[in-house]
Amino acid sequence: MSSLHLDLSYFESQPSLQKATAAWTNARARLAKNESGYFNAPIDDTLSQQRACTQLAQKVRARFSFTDVILIGIGGSSLGPIALIEALGTSRAVDFTFLENPDATDIARKLARLIPESTLVVIVTKSGGTFETLAISNEVINWLGTSRIKNQVIAVTDPTKGDLREWSKKYEVDTLAIAPSIGGRYSVFTPVGLFLLELAGHSSQKFLEGANTARTQIERDPTALCTWAASLLRHSEDAPIHVMMTYSTVGRFLANWWVQLWSESLGKNRKGFTAVASVGATDQHSSFQLVRDGPRDKMIWFVTWERATALPASGGVFPTMSGIALQDLIAIEYAAIKKVCMTQNIPHLALTLKGHNAESYGEVMFTLCALTSLMGELLGVNPYDQPGVEEGKVYIEEGLRDLRLRHEQVSPKLIKS
C-alpha cells in the first residue's frame, strides 16, 4: 500500500498528458538499458547491495562496540544519508557526525567532541578520488590512528578502481560497492544510504520495499507521474523557481537532498529549475514574504507528514496557546500558507507522507528520482550527467597541481636553512 499522497488540485485544468506520456516511454527505455541503475536497485541486489550492507553492519557491531559514526562524503555521498538519519533518528545508542565540507574549523570542533576508541568511520566516494572527501579522510585517519584503521573504517566506493579502493586493499579495510551505473545523487538506493540505515538500527530492506512500491505503481500506471511532470512543464516559464517547503524540522533534509537531485540533473543547456529548500513553519516568518509579494516566479512544493510525533496539549502558562498541541499548530500553519497560495494564485502542489519511517522515505525518494528522469526527457537534457560539476573539478585539479609545485620549490630551501 502506498505511503505517499500527491495533491495537484491547484492545477485544475489538467494539462495534456500526450507529450509527458511519450517522454516517459523514452525515459523508461533508457532506464531499461541501465543508463541509470537506480530504477532497478529495489529489485536487484547486485545494484543495491542490500544483503552485503546488512551482513557488514552485523559484522561491525559484533567486533566493535561503537558509540559514534563519522560519515565522510560530499554531495550525493552524504545528502541522502543525512536526510534519512535526521528524519528517522537512531534506534541504537549511536550518534552520527557528518563531515562534508573541507572546513578546518568545523572538522576540528566536531572531532574534539568524539573519542577515537569508540568511533566508526565510513568514507564514501563513488569515484574513489573526490578531493574533498580524501582531504577530510586524511585528517580523520590521523585523528583515529593507523592502528585502528582495519577494524574501525569502512569504505564505500567503486567496485574495482579509485584511490579509496586501492587504499582499502592496502589496509584490509572492509568495503561496499556502488554500482557504476548509479550516479551519486541517485545512490541512496545503494550502500551509500542502505549501510547507514543499518548502522542506525533501521531496515534497509524496508526502505527498498518503499522504493519498490513506487516503482511498481509507476510501472503499472505512470499517469500520476506524467500529470505531475506536465504540470511543472506548463509552468516552466512563469514559475521556474521551485521551493520545497517541508513542515518538519527532522524532515527538512529531504529538501536538501532534492535540491541536488533537481538542480544537478536538470540544470543544463540553459534549462532547468532553481531548487530551494525551505522549512515550515520557520520560513513563514522570513522567506515566504518574498514568495507572496516578490516576483511571481515561484512554485511551492509542500511536504507534510500524517503520522508525526504527537504530544499532548500543554497547560495554561500562556493562555493564548492553552490546549493547543504542537502537531495541531503546525497543521494549522500549513493550512494557512496553502490558503495564501490559493488566494494569491501561487502555483503549488503537496506531497504527504504517512510518517517518518523507512518505507515512506524509500517511496518518496524513488518517486522524486523517477520524476527527475521524466523531466530530463521533457526538457531534452541528460538527467544522469553533470558537466558543470566536472568542469569545476578540472580547475580544482589545476589549483592542487600548482600548490604541489609551490611546495616542492619551497621545501629544498627549508632543508638547506
Name the residue among 286, 266, 267 with its Cα closest to residue 278: 286
Ranges of beta strands (E only) in 205-363 are 241-246, 274-279, 298-307, 348-355
Catalytic one among 235, 271, 354, 393? 393
Strand-pair partners of 298: 241
Catalytic one among 100, 198, 264, 359? 264
Based on the residue annotation, tell me whether 407 is a catalytic residue of this protein.
Answer: no
Does an H or E element contain 233, and which? Answer: helix 223-234
Based on the residue annotation, tell me whether 242 is a catalytic residue of this protein.
Answer: no
Catalytic one among 170, 285, 407, 413? 285
Answer for the pair 172, 142: CB distance below 8 angstroms, yes or no.
no
Based on the residue annotation, tell me whether 202 is a catalytic residue of this protein.
Answer: no
Residue type, 183: G
Answer for the pair 353, 305: CB distance below 8 angstroms, yes or no.
yes
Answer for the pair 156, 176: CB distance below 8 angstroms, yes or no.
yes
Task: Give the list of residues 6+ apart from residue 261 with CB closer than 8 angstroms, or none.
Answer: 185, 186, 368, 369, 372
From CA 90, how far away is CA 101, in angstroms rounded?
A: 23
83 to 211, 293, 331: CA distances (angstroms): 15, 31, 22
DSSP 67: S
List residues with catalytic annotation.
Answer: 264, 285, 393
